[in-house]
Structure 1
């Protein structure tokens, strides 16, 4: 089983890298970051879809706790780990290296990788993927719009607000609850450490996003006043 998982993750990383090269070929005049964000948007949409489909009971989305992972949950985790490996390489190759983003990737890879190795905690880990990826399309779209020439427009502002609201509700609303139940259940130490690490990174990003929204609102207010 472990060999098959490693091959699946490796294949996923190669597949995401191939998708990036294809996007670069389709949009040769666009930046490295633009193409990577398109691929990241595709992954986020796929990850949220797979995570939603793998929930066993929507009355309790994180149940059963500390249980053996289902086949679909394992596939969801493998696809995301493959993507995270690809995206980590992109982060290192990009000119704008972001330390907190690298830490987020490493924590996620180790935590999800531990879930694959133990073949358990699928409910908690899939819920973590859903929470962390649900706001990602809006994060990427706001940056894509800027490169397409829509910086400081109403459309870009809408993407900013949607991202901030969805991120806050998911990461600071659902996130602490998921962290609590993950720590309370009989989960491996690595899984618990991942839960705490992701929540700390989420809190750090939440503070940055709150400052961004305040700046954007102040900027729009000053424009209207003029």
Structure 2
């Protein structure tokens, strides 16, 4: 446990150092710019690492939920736990997120702490991290495109399409599959079963926002098509979606 605590503290210090470095190099930008750079880096690293564990290194979460933690899974949990502690602290300090996102962060932190303390069930928590974080880089790319004035073009449309598609396919459909395997697993303790189910309910809350955004996007595209050649302008999107 001492080794795990050291890894978590080291992870937290790494993310804090990255944020400080980005902030020093981008003082002309907002604090959110630097925080989202850290979030983008975490999303990319954790997506590839958790995907490797799920798809290659194993064990397979749909059949081995509740299995003992592997060394690579523990490394990922410590790395991600340090990031979530950093990001939750940042969100609370700047009061930048709503209750749904704060709930998401709190559930994530609790789940990772439990599996690290117990030494089991990192398999299913890693799978949850994978389906949750895979859309994060696209979400951050959308925000940066918006900030740089490069969102309202075909590139922005591609990013939006990929984000919505991955969110529905991985976080909603894939997430439901994971929840089912965890709930029926005889090895997973009840508190983790409840936590995974709660995380999925949070995802459904985000889904309402995503579907609302997709509907508004389609209406704006339709409006632009109808008014093309008449001097009408495409209404601007606010460029913000909940982080997933």
- Distance (Å, rounded) in 1 between the aligned partners of 2:117 and 2:135: 27
Match of 1:108 in 2: 108
- Distance (Å, rounded) in 1 between the aligned partners of 2:167 and 2:91: 21
Match of 1:53 in 2: 52
Q: Which runs of 5+ in 1 are unaligned?
A: none
Tell me which structure has the larger Cα radius of gyration: 2
Number of aligned residues: 225
Deviation beyond 4 Å, 4+ runs, structure 1: 56-60
Note the C-alpha offset of 1:209.
0.2
- Distance (Å, rounded) in 2 between the aligned partners of 1:180 and 1:83: 27
Match of 2:4 in 1: 5
- Distance (Å, rounded) in 2 between the aligned partners of 1:100 and 1:57: 32
Note the C-alpha offset of 1:33.
1.4
Q: Does 1:165 align with 2:165?
A: yes
**1:130-160 alpha-carbon deviations (Å, 9 max, x no partner):** 1110011011111111111124333222222
Bigger helix fraction: 1
**1:161-213 alpha-carbon deviations (Å, 9 max, x no partner):** 21111111111110011011111112122311221111000011111101101
- Distance (Å, rounded) in 1 between the aligned partners of 2:151 and 2:53: 37
- Aligned in 2, Cα 1:110/1:60: closer, same or farther, shift over 3 Å? closer
- Distance (Å, rounded) in 1 between the aligned partners of 2:44 and 2:128: 15
Q: Does 1:190 align with 2:165?
A: no
CA contact (8 A) 1:114 1:190 kept: no
Q: Normalization by structure 1: what TM-score?
A: 0.94
- Aligned in 2, Cα 1:65/1:200: closer, same or farther, shift over 3 Å? same
Q: Normalization by structure 2: what TM-score?
A: 0.87
Secondary structure of residue in 1 paired with 2:149: helix
Match of 2:181 in 1: 181
- Aligned in 2, Cα 1:17/1:212: closer, same or farther, shift over 3 Å? same
- Distance (Å, rounded) in 2 between the aligned partners of 1:22 and 1:57: 34
Residues 37-186 of structure 1: matches in 2 within 5 Å? 37-55=36-54, 61-62=60-61, 63-185=63-185, 186=187
- Aligned in 2, Cα 1:107/1:32: closer, same or farther, shift over 3 Å? same
Secondary structure of residue in 2 paired with 1:23: helix
- Distance (Å, rounded) in 1 between the aligned partners of 2:115 and 2:55: 17
CA contact (8 A) 2:68 2:121 kept: yes
- Distance (Å, rounded) in 1 between the aligned partners of 2:105 and 2:56: 28
Secondary structure of residue in 1 paired with 2:148: helix
Match of 2:231 in 1: none
Secondary structure of residue in 2 paired with 1:55: helix
Pairwise CA RMSD:
1.7
